[in-house]
Amino acid sequence: MIKNLKLKTLGLTVLASLATSLAIADPALPPFYQSVTHMKPEGKLGQIIKKEKIATPVAGAQAWRIAYISSDLTGKKTISTGLVVAPIGAAPAGGRPIISWSHGTTGNAQNCGPSQVENPAQNLNQYFLVNGNSWTDYGLPSLEQFIKDGYVVVGTDYQGLGGGGRHQYAVAQTNGRDAINAARAAGSMKETSAGKKTLLIGWSQGAGSTVGASSQAEYIAQKGTAYDGLDMVGFVAMAIPDLAMYRPKNLDEAGSKQMITDFTTAFSDTSFDFAHFSMNMWGTQAAYPDKLKLSDIFTDDAAKVLDEVYQNKCIHVATDTITFNYGTSYKKLLRPEPKNTMAWSQAIIDGSVDNNAKPIAPVLILYGNKDTTLPPVMGEYYRNQVCAIGGNVARVQLPGDQNHFTTPTISIPLYMPWIKDRLAGKPAANGCSAENVM
């Protein structure tokens, strides 16, 4: 036991020393992404700057990896990568509808983009489920059925997950723009024969992306993109995060300190939750590098360690690293008293979903009653805020006892007919009139 303790202590010392003194190289990337990370984010929003055709097991489909121009919440141009899958053959008059998918948490490092997985152009495959067969979640939800229905499906990796730059993890406004520009990219490809009708769907981090996009009317309507005139008809959000619910009544010194404390406490029950929380702080700092420092929230040594971990490891491996090196003492990575809390609070609010703006199309929120990763109260808070300003937000509890990771599969029978109705031009029922439980 003493020997193991000494080894553990030695391991922590070595890890801290490495984080302090060594510059660890970026993780290895497939050739497509290696070349993209050396490209400049120049061009129109949604413009494809690199693509390669890839195989897909989906009958009647063709697929491509793409790199395209996007921008973050400050308007700074970025490069995002992703995956496009489209039916083969003649398209109907008016072109094919576009489904833009936003994935859940995969990590912050360059090699965490789902499109990098071997053979990615298939139905959604989840790491935690029994049939999960890769190091991450990958694929596109209901892809086979969407292709049969004649839709073009595109999935963004988000900026920073294969296209260079630091990933703005869980910054819903930036992630939402990546999903919007992914739809523009897919629409700009002659091979897809896409039309203008577009629907966004996402889960977890991607639900934030989807709802984050729903409020960006001016961004969607702007001219001079690679594919102007997207007609957004709906947004499907499975397990929505709304970090703005932590906003204090007064965003003063005391209120902002309480907000950061409450946010930290809510997401530090386990090392898995703590990894998501610290990744969120890492991503928020990436969005505001001139205003925020990781060492405002974490100790100086911890900030260096976490920066190295998240630059090089995806979510599950990063969680294992934190658990192995810190066990149940991971909370010691936090500063006893956070600093610069007003700037952090404002950054979190600005980057979160905008529940003060009416969505440009109906929103469907699907959630599990046993979701402890993103508690249902977040979606309830969002719906109440947006319904109060005239938005149309339906919120449906999934049948049975569903957790965060069973949500995407159990949601399929509920979102498929809703999506078909929106793409067919049928008006959505008033989602704010009642809570739906199925």
CB atoms within 10 A of CB 38: 7
Looking at the fold, whether 44 and 148 belong to one and the same domain comes out as yes
The half-sphere exposure of 421 on its side-chain side, counting CA atoms within 13 A, is 15
98 and 199 inside one domain: yes
Rounded Cα distance, 239 and 176, in Å? 15
**Cα–Cα distance measured from residue 99 to residue 419, given in angstroms and rounded to the nearest whole number:** 9
Q: Give 432's DSSP letter.
A: T
Of 218, 283, 287, nearest to 78 by C-alpha is 287
Residues 339 and 413 in one domain: no
CA-closest candidate to residue 243, choices 433, 110, 362, 385? 385
pLDDT at position 31, please?
97
Residues 262 and 280 in one domain: yes
Q: Are residues 45 and 181 in the same domain?
A: yes
Contact 266, 249 (CB under 8 A): no
Which tokens hold the place of 300?
A: 């100086």
pTM for this one? 0.94
- Which conformational region is residue 255 in: left (phi greater than 0), alpha (psi within -120 to 50 degrees), or beta? alpha
The dihedral through the CA atoms of 122, 395, 107, 73 has a sign that is positive
Residues 335 and 373 in one domain: no
**Could you tell me which residues come within 8 angstroms of residue 130 by beta carbon, excluding any fewer than 6 positions away?**
none
One domain for residues 271 and 411: no
| Domain encompassing residue 195 | 37-242+352-437
259 neighbors 338 (Cβ within 8 angstroms) = no
Encode burial over 391-417: b for 16+ CB neighbours within 10 A, e otherwise. Answer: bbbbbbbbeeebbbbbbbbbbeebbbe
Longest CA span, the chain: 74
How big is the chain, counted in residues? 438
Residue pair 377/245 in contact (Cβ under 8 Å)? The answer is: yes
- Last residue in a domain, options 326, 349, 372: 349
- The angle at the Cα of 374, spanning 368 to 379, to the nearest 5 degrees, equals 70
Angstrom CA distances, 178 to 26, 61, 169, stand at 22, 24, 12
User: What is the full per-residue pLDDT of the chain (438 aa) written as tens digits?
Assistant: 434 434 344 444 444 444 444 444 567 899 999 999 999 999 999 999 999 999 999 999 999 999 999 999 999 999 999 999 999 999 999 999 999 999 999 999 999 999 999 999 999 999 999 999 999 999 999 999 999 999 999 999 999 999 999 999 999 999 999 999 999 999 999 999 999 999 999 999 999 999 999 999 999 999 999 999 999 999 999 999 998 889 988 999 999 999 999 999 989 999 999 999 999 999 999 999 999 999 999 999 999 999 999 999 999 999 999 999 999 999 999 999 999 999 999 999 999 999 999 999 999 999 999 999 999 999 999 999 999 999 999 999 999 999 999 999 999 999 999 999 999 999 999 999 976 543
Look at residue 8 in the predicted model and tell me its pLDDT.
Answer: 42
Q: What's the chain's Rg over C-alpha atoms?
A: 21
* Together in a domain, 386 and 360: yes
Asked if 221 and 283 sit in the same domain, the reply is no
Q: What CATH number is attached to the domain comprising 223?
A: 3.40.50.1820
Phi, psi angle pair for 215, to nearest 5°: -95, 0
DSSP, collapsed to helix, strand or coil, labels residue 391 as: coil
Number of domains in the chain: 2
Closest by CA position to 216, among listed 184, 176, 178: 176
Q: What is the token pair recorded at 105?
A: 């948490």
User: Strand runs (DSSP E) across 104-175, as ranges?
Assistant: 152-159
Same domain, 65 and 198: yes
Same domain, 359 and 388: yes
83 vs 192: CA distance, rounded Å: 12
CA-CA distance, 100 to 102, in Å (whole number)? 7
* Residue at a domain's end among 318, 349, 380: 349
The sign one gets for the Cα dihedral 385, 390, 391, 392 is positive
The CA distance from 204 to 102, in Å, is 9
Query: Cα–chain-centroid distance for residue 336?
Result: 30
Q: Which ranges of 227-270 would DSSP assign to H, the alpha helix?
A: 253-266
- Show the tokens assigned to 165: 């730059």
Among residues 291, 321, 349, the one where a domain terminates is: 349
Residues in contact with 217: Cβ distance below 8 Å, sequence separation at least 6, in sequence order: 357, 360
Do 152 and 292 belong together in one domain? Answer: no
Within 311-400, strands assigned E span 363-367, 393-397
